[in-house]
Amino acid sequence: MLLPLPDGSWWDWAVLGFDGSRLTLAAGHDLTYHHGLEVVFTDTRYVRCPTDFTDPAFREPTPEERAEVTRFLGEEPPVLVAFEADGGGTVPVSCLIAAEDWAIRQGRFSRRGSADVP
């Protein structure tokens, strides 16, 4: 599934919170003090991505990625998001997130003010 992001400067990304079920990603042009976008996955069942990454290129999952997640879960999830991103290494990393549902929240979120930040 291609993640339909609103227009904006979504260069820097970070895992803002993950409680074993709810995964929240924060995005913005600089995450030091605030961010303008949150992507929240609910009933997350599979995560393969670094905690901090930049410049993700969201794309449809490959047949091999679908098969990998289906083998792991025993079924294909309702939401399967795939992307390539700069994870700080010398080559881009391939990322996958499988969940039951997702939502996008847009606004101005303080790094300390988000519900997912302790």
**CB-based burial, 47-70: b 16+ in 10 Å, e otherwise:** eebbeebbebeeeebeeebbebbe
Question: What's the CA gap between 81 and 96, in Å, rounded?
Answer: 6
CA dihedral sign, ordered 41, 47, 52, 53 = negative
Tokens 């996958």 sit at which residue? 96
Backbone angles phi, psi at 94, to 5 degrees: -90, 125
> What does pTM read for this prediction?
0.87
pLDDT number for residue 112:
60
Spans of the chain below 50 pLDDT: 115-118
* Per-domain boundaries in the chain: 12-109
